[in-house]
Amino acid sequence: MVQILDSTLREGEQTPGVYFSPEKKMVIAQFLDQIGVDIIEAGNPAVDSEIALAITRISQAGLNAKIGAHSLCKIDNVRKALDCGVDFLGVFFSVSKKRLQQDYNINLDAAIEKIIEVVSFAKEQKHDLLIRYTPEDTVRSPIENVIAAASAAVEAGVDIISIADTTGYTTPFHPQRSMYFYVKTLKEELKKRGLHPQIEVHCHNDKGLALANALDAYRAGADIIDVTTMGLGERAGIVDLAELMINLIDMGEEEKNWQLNTIDDLYKFVSEHSHISIPPHKPITGKNAFTHYAGVHVKAIAKDEQLYQSLNPHILGKKSSLALGMQSGYTAVQLALKQIGKGDLAENQDLVGKILQEIKVIAKRGTPIDIEKELPAIIEHCTIVNHLIKNEICSFYS
């Protein structure tokens, strides 16, 4: 069973403009725990004392998920993380050529020494601490550097090595530049050295491939996959939690471990408090993800939803719905009438036709028609018109 690490509170809070107070963070952590994610990466305590406070509170909340802190590869940062009482520590330090030369100004050996020092210190402080080492920008680093740093880190006490596609560089199907290649190669190379850490993947969405790359890593046997609510994160963000879960279920993971009907509440909460709206056409959690519109579609799904749906909304505690507008046909109006408890009117062909005409006119304003709120008034108007026509008072309409 693959594990899910949610980083809404760390990577997600690195979305420009996003800020979650400690209280909001607690609510988000509780939602994530209820949904069943395995690890909650709650933040980097060295960034701000309020972040440290939030991590401490979440660590003490008695959640099932492991609570983690993110940390630079520095002893004082690790100390701050451990002071929060976390079960999980994520240390990152790049071993890419450019980073070593242009940013850190050290060679690979010195970098490895630093990693060993920090990891050993953390392990000494707390023996049952789960430690992850991420060679940041893993996939743009020489593979030999990654293998050397990862091996040393595992020997020093690291349990998990994360392959970070920090810049959204990888592509599925590419012979070398794919997550599949990285997961397979790293696992094999570490195994040759008698090392068996868990392999995690962190995929950024710069080319819109984060989910595809995460599934590529899953196919290669990745043990942990990073996600955030709504795919929030630096630049184009990372893998979306709901989208990953649905795809993993599709690929055979058992859904019983996850409480998917809580996802919508989490997304609503995060959207509201991040002030970032969920696009209506966003897979799984968008308002239109299970909404049918065009005449042909609605006519078909009235017989069998699967004719235009490969996903079952029930596993998310949702139902499919229909929209009314320019593209609608008779069936949509009839179904909409039934939806608002006016099924008796659905047999009146004449009236249904009039309602459809009026809907097509309203649709030209270019915003969705709210069935519950607007249809009653449309019916009323069309009934009056229908009545006038029948009584030949208004020959204009006939």
Chain contacts with ligand HCA (rule: CB under 6 A)? 11, 14, 70, 90, 92, 134, 136, 162, 164, 166, 202, 204, 234
Distance (Å, rounded) from C-alpha 134 to C-alpha 124?
Answer: 20
Write down the number of H helices and E strands in the chain: 14, 10
Min dist. Cβ of residue 170 to Cu ion (A): 13
Partner that binds at residue 331, options ligand HCA, Cu ion, none, CB closer than 5 to 8 Å by kind = none
Pairing between β-strand 224-227 and β-strand 160-165 as defined by DSSP bridges: unpaired
DSSP percent split of the chain into helix, strand, coil, nearest 5:
50, 10, 35
Q: Which of residues 223-262 bind Cu ion (CB under 5 A)?
A: none
Comparing CB distances to Cu ion, the nearer of 6 and 11 is 11
Q: Which is nearer to Cu ion, 11 or 223 (CB)?
A: 11
| Shortest distance, position 234 Cβ to ligand HCA, whole Å | 6
Q: In angstroms, give the least distance from the CB of 77 to ligand HCA.
A: 12
Say which entry of ligand HCA, Cu ion, none residue 187 contacts (CB below 5 to 8 A, set by partner kind): none
Stretch that binds Cu ion, among 9-17, 36-44, 72-80, 107-115 (CB under 5 A): 9-17
The residue count for binding Cu ion (CB under 5 A) is 1
Q: How far apart are CA 260 and CA 316, in angstroms?
A: 5
* Interstrand relation of 88-92 and 66-72 (parallel, antiparallel or unpaired): parallel
Least distance in angstroms from the C-beta of 80 to ligand HCA: 15
Choose the contact partner of 90 out of Cu ion, ligand HCA, none; CB within 5 to 8 A by kind. ligand HCA
What distance in Å separates the CA atoms of residue 369 and residue 125, rounded to the nearest whole number?
A: 60
Closest separation in Å from C-beta 59 to ligand HCA:
19
**Residues 6 or more apart from 27 whose CB is under 8 A from it?**
269
Task: Name the residue nearer to ligand HCA (CB basis): 166 or 334.
Answer: 166
User: Which pair of tokens denotes residue 314?
Assistant: 């029930």
Q: Report angle CA 266, 277, 257 to the nearest 5 degrees.
A: 25
119 binds, among Cu ion, ligand HCA, none (CB under 5 to 8 A by kind): none
The two beta strands, 160-165 and 198-203, are parallel
Nearer to ligand HCA, 160 or 301 (CB): 160
Which partner from the list Cu ion, ligand HCA, none does 162 bind, CB cut-off 5 to 8 Å by kind?
A: ligand HCA
Per-position x/- string for 11-40, each x denoting binding to Cu ion as judged by CB under 5 A, each - no binding: x-----------------------------
Contact predicate 101/110, CB 8 Å = no
H helix intervals, the chain: 22-35, 49-59, 75-83, 97-98, 108-125, 143-155, 179-192, 210-219, 241-250, 263-274, 295-301, 330-339, 349-362, 371-390
DSSP three-state, residue 134:
strand
In the bound state with Cu ion, the residue whose beta carbon lies nearer, of 11 and 38, is: 11
Segment near Cu ion (CB under 5 A); pick from 10-18, 25-33, 215-223, 333-341:
10-18
- The item of Cu ion, ligand HCA, none sharing an interface with residue 80, based on CB under 5 to 8 Å by kind, is none
Residue 281 appears among annotated catalytic residues:
no
CB of 215 to ligand HCA, least distance (A): 18
Return the biggest CA–CA distance within the chain: 94
> Among 297, 314, 381, 387, which one carries the catalytic annotation?
297
Q: Residue numbers of the site for Cu ion (CB under 5 A)?
A: 11
What residues act catalytically? 297
